[in-house]
Amino acid sequence: MQIHLSDVTSCEGKTVQVSTELEMETVSFQMGEFPVLKKEPVDLVITNTGNKVLELTGNTCVTVGIPCDRCLEQVKVEIPCHIERKLDMKLTDEERVNDLDESNYLTGMDLDVDRLVYLEVLMSWPLKVLCRDNCKGICSQCGKNLNDGPCGCAEEPKDPRMAAISDIFSKFKEV
């Protein structure tokens, strides 16, 4: 969703409240592509603080399907987004690039709300996702989800350097 900002920038002290729906269906970056399962409307307040500077505040919540780090089951992860930005509208697009301003959600007088929320989601992306605290993961041999029960594969040492020690213990079990 694009919001044109020229009417806000034309009058100092002017405040505009906008509620808009997100159009994004996936979140894609180098970690992969993740489906957006639920999205709340984006509530924005845009205030002209003077000298062609806009203050942007807002909230939304996006629920993304992210695989569990251990068993790869899809987990519904709510990512709340609290937006607080200052936009200097005096800068041209080229000056923003030269100043290393990463606001690629702003082109001229148009604010790309989906891109703004996308960047907020990336900044709030969880480091680790588990389907449950005691997730058992998947079998390294057959790939069965161990949360559903044992797979029947012979258990091997987790660390190949421990294989010799494991052999010693298995010989004692036979005696």
pLDDT digits (tens, 9 = 90+) for 92-130: 777 666 665 556 788 888 899 999 999 999 999 999 999
Average pLDDT over residues 30-42: 95
Q: Give residue 9's pLDDT.
A: 86
Query: Phi, psi at residue 28, to the nearest 5°?
Result: -120, 135
Q: Give residue 166's pLDDT.
A: 72
Q: Copy the structure tokens of residue 153.
A: 């594969």
Average pLDDT over residues 131-150: 90
Helices (H), the chain: 6-9, 93-98, 113-123, 163-174
**Does residue 175 have a pLDDT over 50?**
no
Q: Give residue 157's pLDDT.
A: 58
Q: How confident is the model at residue 70 (pLDDT cuts 50, 70, 90)?
A: very high
pLDDT above 70 as % of the chain: 89
d(CA 162, CA 175): 21
Q: How confident is the model at residue 11 (pLDDT cuts 50, 70, 90)?
A: confident
Average pLDDT over residues 29-36: 94
Q: Give residue 24's pLDDT.
A: 94
**Does residue 172 have a pLDDT over 70?**
no
Q: Give residue 152's pLDDT.
A: 83
Secondary structure in 3-state letters for 135-147:
CCCECCCCCCEHH
Q: Which residue has the higher pLDDT, 164 or 22?
A: 22
Q: Give residue 56's pLDDT.
A: 94
